[in-house]
């Protein structure tokens, strides 16, 4: 997956450096530029596609929230500020997260992981396939042909209507790129394709003659179907 491109809009040099250093520590982030005010950032965004903005609230000339309201199709936004009273307004503007200064790295990582998950979900929602590593080959598997996915320790077995494929990845990793409207985890070790379900009870899901157990903590997933 390509890196998440980002910019920082921050008028405090020390705060901007902290964010820049944090970004450099995260492999899936790529810092494009740092801006001291939102006006300069607006000009940059007219000519560049960015995935994520780290946005301070108190900026010269144009405040952070006012700037955010001017964006027609804003990218993901993580607000950074020393003032917690703007949190509600931020979330009303659909910001991904709200970081209070001084920002600890662990809290920063939690916020950017949210963005990473959102980006992966968006890719999964717009395409109808995935490539997985199978015996040193990249195999294309259509979402529509997947019946279910079973965890086998450090591997997963992807069962499709044209056979099964074994790939070295976790169920959590593949779950992140599957379209959420089509796939649901019903057990710690199983993810099923909703359109492929033939029947179900309180204990099992039946898919093309296969009985798949429903985990105790996943009963509500089936109930919501």
Cα torsion 192, 3, 38, 76 to 10°: value is 0
Residues 48 and 150 in one domain: no
Q: Which of 44-58, 81-95, 180-194 shows the lowest mean pLDDT across its residues?
A: 81-95
pLDDT class of 55 with cuts at 50, 70, 90: very high
User: How do strand 190-193 and strand 183-187 relate by DSSP bridges?
Assistant: antiparallel
Q: Sign of torsion, CA 34 39 44 46?
A: positive
| Structural domain ending residue among the three candidates 99, 125, 151 | 125
Q: What pLDDT shows up at residue 117? A: 83
Q: Are residues 134 and 121 in the same domain?
A: no
Same domain, 105 and 189: no
Q: What are the pLDDT digits (tens) for 169-183? A: 889 889 888 888 889
Whose tokens are 């598997």? That residue is 141
151 pLDDT higher than 90: yes
Question: Is there a single domain that holds both residue 82 and residue 188?
Answer: no
CB-based contact 118:76 (threshold 8 Å): yes
Averaged confidence pLDDT in the chain: 88
131 neighbors 145 (Cβ within 8 angstroms): no
- Check whether residue 9 and residue 113 sit in a common domain: yes
Domain with 175, as residue range(s), is 129-223
Write down the pLDDT at residue 119: 77
pTM for the structure as a whole? 0.56
- Give the ranges where the chain is alpha helix by DSSP (H): 13-24, 38-47, 64-70, 87-92, 105-126, 171-177, 219-223
Number of domains in the chain: 2
Same domain, 75 and 157: no
Are residues 19 and 99 both part of a single domain? yes
Question: pLDDT by residue (tens digit) across 98-138?
Answer: 899 999 999 999 999 999 888 776 665 567 888 889 988 88
- What's the CATH code of the domain at 165? 2.40.50.1020
Instruction: Let me know whether 45 and 120 are in one domain.
Output: yes
Based on the fold, state whether residues 145 and 98 are members of the same structural domain.
Answer: no
Chosen domain end from 79, 94, 125: 125
Domain of residue 82, CATH code: 3.40.50.2300
Residues 162/131/76/50 CA torsion (nearest 10 deg): -140
């Amino acid at each position: 997956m390509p890196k998440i491109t980002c910019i920082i809009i921050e008028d405090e040099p020390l705060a901007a450096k902290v964010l820049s250093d944090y970004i450099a520590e995260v492999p899936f982030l790529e810092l494009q530029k740092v801006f001291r005010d939102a006006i300069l950032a607006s000009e940059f965004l007219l000519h560049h596609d960015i995935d994520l903005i780290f946005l301070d609230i108190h900026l010269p000339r144009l405040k952070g929230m006012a700037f955010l309201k001017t964006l027609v199709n804003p990218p993901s936004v993580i607000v950074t500020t020393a003032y917690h009273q703007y949190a509600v307004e931020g979330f009303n503007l659909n910001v991904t997260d709200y970081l209070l200064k001084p920002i600890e790295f662990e809290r920063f990582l939690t916020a950017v992981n949210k963005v990473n998950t959102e980006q992966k979900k968006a890719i999964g929602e717009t395409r109808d396939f995935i490539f997985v590593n199978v015996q040193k080959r990249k195999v294309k598997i259509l979402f529509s042909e997947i019946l279910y996915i079973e965890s086998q320790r450090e591997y997963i077995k992807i069962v499709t209507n044209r056979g099964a494929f074994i790939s070295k990845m976790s169920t959590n990793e593949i779950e992140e790129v599957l379209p959420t409207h089509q796939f649901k985890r019903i057990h710690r070790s199983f993810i099923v394709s909703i359109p492929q379900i033939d029947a179900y009870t309180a204990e099992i899901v039946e898919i093309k003659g296969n009985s798949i157990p429903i985990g105790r903590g996943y009963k509500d997933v089936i109930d919501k179907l």
